[in-house]
Amino acid sequence: MSEGNVQEGFGVFEVFVQKTQADFHTHVGSVVAPSPDVALMNARENFLRRDLGVNLWVVPRQCVTATPYDSEGDWFAREFDRKYREAGGYPENGRLWKMYKEKVLQLEEIVEDLHGKGDKNNESASS
């Protein structure tokens, strides 16, 4: 729904529905209405006519803050290396934990070991 189709005095409201009390509110669409009360009625008629719900939110579109689609740089890039959270990192964590149990490692040794392994991977990839 484009902002150009909205009549004077009407606003676009984003609609969120909670199906059960255990569920999150989920965005289901938007409605055009002159006030939040009318937006609630329109949203109920449009989005809960056949489905059940326990709660309904309508939020004026101008109150929603979002990231731009054409943002400079990569907005969603990872700021830190979090490979340890990925499933592929578990064997590496097991190896480091075994080394730790055998002797107490210093932080510098762990970092050196990780950087050394990364350098070997880079050399094999470039070959």
Sign of the four-CA dihedral 11, 16, 21, 22: negative
- Report the mean per-residue pLDDT for the chain: 80
Q: What digits encode the pLDDT tens for the residues 30-88? A: 999 999 999 999 999 999 998 899 999 999 999 999 887 776 667 777 667 666 666 66
pLDDT band for 25, please (50, 70, 90 cuts). Answer: very high
User: For the whole model, what pTM was predicted?
Assistant: 0.55
Contacts 24+ apart (CB under 8 A), 3-7: 3/61, 5/32, 6/32, 7/32
Sign of the four-CA dihedral 33, 35, 36, 42: negative
Q: What digits encode the pLDDT tens for the residues 89-99? A: 567 777 777 77
Q: What is the pLDDT of residue 117?
A: 65
Q: What is the pLDDT of residue 120?
A: 53
Q: What is the mean pLDDT of residues 103-114?
A: 74
b/e 55-65 (16+ beta carbons within 10 angstroms → b): ebbbbeeeeee
Tell me: pLDDT of 113 over 80: no
pLDDT: is 50 or 3 the higher one?
50
Residue tagged 């097991």 (tokens): 94
Q: What is the pLDDT of residue 93?
A: 72
